[in-house]
Amino acid sequence: MSQGALGGLRLIEMGQLIAGPFCGQLMADHGCEVIKIEPPGVGDAMRAWGQGTPLWFEVVARNKKSITLNLREAEGQAIVRDLVAKSDFLLENFRPGTLEKWHLGYEDLAAVNPALIMIRVSGYGQSGPYSHRAGYGGIGEAMGGMRYICGEPDRMPSRAGLSIGDSLAATYACLGALMALNHRHATGQGQVVDSAIYEAVLAMMESTVPEYTVSNHIRERTGSILPKIAPSNVYPTSDGSVLIGGNQDSVWKRMAAMMGIPELGDDPRYNSHVARGARQQELDDLISDWTRQHTSAAVLAMCEAAGVPAGNMYRAPEMLADPHFKAREAIIATPTARFPDLKMQNVFPKLSATPGKVDWTGPALGAHNEEVYGALLGMDSKRMDDLQARGII
């Protein structure tokens, strides 16, 4: 297994689906030993999630070790404490209070390992009047303000197309864990990282709150444009569409020349950010009339030559065929016995001295029971057989 930047560290992952496990994936990608705890006989619900053939688990559980353990039983909880004594992090995304009910709260575990960093991901955080509520990513996206501004203005708010709230909370959880690790280097003490989905979304909301507090402005849904930022939109071509961003004075001058109307680069109606913003629809109509006369490939070639940012709308087929993706190995082949043609996104971010690596995809349920219970915790086969027979592991 690749060491990576987090080599030598161990994380115990509890919980399921995305909000916690994506944090575990990020850390496993960079060399942290992640031991994922799953319910015996059932496993993480993510094993069955996905459109068509369920494949998301192959990504979110990559580089992790899977063990089965019944956390509802006292013997299972005792095994968690044994694991915590030998680990650096414990990651969980249960509803707040669940671990305390199982006598696995931070106070309990810090008594076993004072250096433990406990990473807690939840809908509303570990405190406050809503903390006890069940919270999914979509609810956090709504409460954090993102859902309201997604979509077209004449329709109900739209989903972003991804479980972005869960992934943001997990990403901030990972960031917090590394901050806590640096603090532990200085003090030897662990702490709790409390990442709430709604707050992770709120953190990405730019100046929406200040805009309201200063001028009572509330951002609304605007579809494919950002109001007063022009030109920046998806424009129709003779065979599809392209995204073009010419919303800077110097870029707009180059874009106007590219379109054969160089005089508009200095025209007072368009030669400043404010002027273009005031005529956004007019400018979009003008550009659309031009792009419709050309293929997408021709428009992109002209934009590249003129130094105007532009791009296609990519799906998986376009990503797999793109030479830039190939050159940077943004997508890698990860063949398995079940899926010989499996490909997925590579480790990100890229580190020059300690690059991460995908060593294996999501493992079979309990694939590492013998390694973890036997080699790490020192259980003999007789005890493991007994625990398995009684549904503890």
Q: What are the φ and ψ backbone dihedral angles of 321, each rounded to 5 degrees?
A: -90, -15
Q: How far apart are CA 224 and CA 244, in angstroms?
A: 11
Read off the pLDDT of residues 300-320 as tens digits, 9 standing for 90 and up. Answer: 999 999 999 999 999 999 999
DSSP 305-353: HHT--EE----HHHHHH-HHHHHTT-EEE---SS-TT-EEE--SS--SS
Q: Is 337 exposed, middle or buried (0-12, 13-18, 19+ CB in 10 A)?
A: exposed
Please identify every stretch of the chain with a pLDDT value under 50, giving residue numbers as ranges.
1-2
State both tokens at 339: 């899926």
**Neighbouring-strand partners of residue 90:** 12, 118
The answer to whether the beta carbons of residues 40 and 68 sit under 8 Å apart is: yes
Predicted confidence at residue 2, as pLDDT, reads: 45
Q: So which residues are the catalytic ones?
A: 166
Domains within the chain, CATH numbers bracketed: 10-204+330-389 (3.40.50.10540), 232-311 (3.30.1540.10)
Q: What is the pTM of this model?
A: 0.94
Tens-place pLDDT, residues 241-293: 999 999 999 999 999 999 999 999 999 999 999 999 999 999 999 999 999 99
- Distance, CA of 67 to CA of 374 (rounded, Å): 12
pLDDT digits (tens, 9 = 90+) for 132-153: 998 889 999 999 999 999 999 9
**CA proximity to 65, closest of 12, 19, 144:** 12
CA distances from 2 to 5, 67, 302 (A): 9, 21, 43
Q: What is the pLDDT at residue 51?
A: 78
Per-residue confidence (pLDDT) for residue 1, from 0 to 100? 41
196: β partners:
122
Spatial distance between the Cα atoms of 383 and 53, rounded to a whole number of angstroms:
37
CA–CA dist 366, 384 (Å, integer): 12
pLDDT at 53: 87
Q: What is the reported pLDDT for 171?
A: 98
Sequence-ordered alpha helix ranges (H) in 188-242: 197-202, 208-215
Instruction: Evaluate whether 38 touches 68 at the Cβ level (below 8 Å).
Output: yes
